[in-house]
């Protein structure tokens, strides 16, 4: 049974890339065509590479490799947190802090500070501090939880890093390259497949697309660790809140990214409208063909009857 079907990929909008003017030529081999100024990703290759990525993640998990998920864009933040938590991995879903991997010893001191403040809060010790001091400490706690909460249990740099949006997370990829940490990345049509180790050509902007791909990678990690896929009820428990905004806001897009997102959505809607029109036209054409065939059948039947009547008349004579 395949990891993901073409139907699932299609339904999730995995095939929609970026506008053609923003493409990376190195992605040409994974692009099927272009429609209304938007590149369409070849889903056959996506399905094949998804199989390879799944096997890589499952086998790595079986060997005890630890994984860090990174996705700080608004659409990915909640999915990254929930899928990483579901499979027992680490995550960064807010701003990537410079040196998070290459300067891990310094980052680890901040993680320890986070744990210390959480202990003070849980024990009620903060309530015994002066009001102003307690307020400052709680503000510090909130900031540390926002940026470091997903790596609170990480004792050393991860063995594998999963990236959503290669362009946005270029600093994380750069640190992985310096430390020779394998990178698994979703590649949209504006990305470079040569700078990551395992890639999956897919739409990295749509929530449903991100959810499908990241969810499959989390399944692979879970299966490698537990020897079987996650139970459906466990999966559904972590799905709650993904689409209704019940997760921390990630850093917002800049104006250029927001404008492009709107343009892509409009272009995609145009493509879907064209496909809908084509479907209607095809249906109408089919009905027309059926009508013509029905007329031809009726005419043929009438011709047969006429021949039979002529034959009967001849025999009577």
Tell me the DSSP string of 242-273: TTTT-S---PPPPHHHHHHHHHHHHHHHHHHH
pLDDT score, position 61 = 96
Work out the burial of residue 203: count CB atoms within 10 Å of its CB; fewer than 13 is exposed, 13-18 middle, 19 or more buried: buried
CA distances, 252 to each of 76, 138, 206, 218, 261 (Å): 12, 24, 15, 25, 12
State which H helix or E strand residue 54 sits in.
helix 43-62
CA distances, 181 to each of 49, 76, 80, 153 (Å): 20, 22, 19, 19
CA distances, 106 to each of 12, 111, 112, 307 (Å): 40, 9, 10, 98
Q: Region of 294 please: left (phi>0), alpha (psi -120 to 50) or beta.
A: alpha
Tokens of 273: 């409208």
> Which architecture characterizes domain 6-101+157-252 according to CATH?
3-Layer(aba) Sandwich (3.40)
> How many residues are recorded in the chain?
317
Q: Within 10 Å of residue 206's Cβ, how many Cβ atoms?
A: 19
Task: Decide if 250 contacts 93 (C-beta within 8 A).
Answer: yes
Contacts of 201 (CB under 8 A, 6+ apart): 27, 30, 41, 42, 45, 46, 49, 187, 188, 189, 193
3-state secondary structure of 123: helix
317 residues of the chain, pLDDT tens digit each: 789 999 999 999 999 999 999 999 999 999 999 999 999 999 999 999 999 999 999 999 999 999 999 999 999 999 999 999 999 999 999 999 999 999 999 999 999 999 999 999 999 888 889 889 999 999 999 999 999 999 999 999 999 999 999 999 999 999 999 999 999 999 999 999 999 999 999 999 999 999 999 999 999 999 999 876 654 444 444 444 443 333 344 444 444 554 454 455 444 544 454 444 444 454 455 555 455 455 455 555 565 465 455 555 555 55
3-state secondary structure of 284: helix
Interstrand relation of 38-41 and 16-19 (parallel, antiparallel or unpaired): antiparallel
Q: What are phi and psi of 186, to 5 degrees?
A: -75, 130
> Helix axis angle, 207-226 relative to 43-62, nearest 10°?
30
Distance CA 208, CA 74 (A): 13
pLDDT score, position 226 = 85
* DSSP state for residue 67 in the 8-state scheme: E
Interstrand relation of 31-35 and 38-41 (parallel, antiparallel or unpaired): antiparallel
Delimit the domains of the chain by residue range. Answer: 6-101+157-252, 253-317
State which H helix or E strand residue 9 sits in.
helix 6-11
């Amino acid at each position: 049974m395949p990891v993901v079907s073409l139907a699932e990929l299609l339904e999730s909008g995995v095939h929609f890339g970026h506008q053609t003017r923003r493409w990376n030529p190195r992605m040409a081999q994974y692009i099927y065509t272009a429609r209304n100024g938007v590149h369409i990703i070849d889903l056959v290759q996506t399905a094949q590479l998804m199989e390879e990525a799944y096997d890589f993640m499952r086998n790595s998990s079986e060997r005890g490799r630890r994984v860090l998920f990174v996705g700080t864009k608004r659409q990915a933040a909640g999915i990254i947190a929930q899928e990483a938590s579901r499979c027992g991995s680490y995550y960064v879903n807010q701003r990537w802090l410079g040196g998070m991997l290459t300067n891990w010893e310094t980052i680890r001191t901040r993680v320890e500070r986070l744990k210390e403040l959480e202990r003070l809060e849980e024990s009620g010790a903060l309530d015994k501090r002066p009001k102003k001091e307690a307020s400052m400490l709680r503000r510090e706690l909130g900031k540390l939880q926002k940026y470091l909460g997903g790596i609170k249990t990480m004792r050393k740099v991860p063995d594998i890093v999963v990236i959503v949006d290669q362009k946005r997370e270029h600093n994380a990829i750069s640190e992985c390259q310096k430390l020779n940490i394998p990178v698994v990345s979703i590649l949209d049509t504006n990305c470079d497949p040569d700078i990551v180790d395992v890639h999956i050509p897919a739409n990295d902007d749509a929530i449903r697309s991100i959810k499908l791909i990241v969810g499959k990678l989390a399944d692979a990690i879970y299966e490698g660790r537990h020897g079987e896929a996650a139970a459906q009820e466990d999966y559904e428990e972590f799905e709650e809140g993904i689409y209704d905004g019940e997760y921390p806001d990630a850093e917002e897009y800049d104006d250029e990214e927001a404008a492009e997102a709107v343009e892509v959505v409009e272009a995609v809607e145009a493509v879907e409208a064209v496909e809908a029109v084509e479907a209607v036209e095809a249906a109408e054409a089919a009905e027309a063909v059926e009508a013509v065939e029905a007329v031809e059948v009726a005419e043929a039947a009438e011709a047969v009857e006429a021949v039979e009547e002529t034959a009967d008349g001849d025999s009577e004579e």
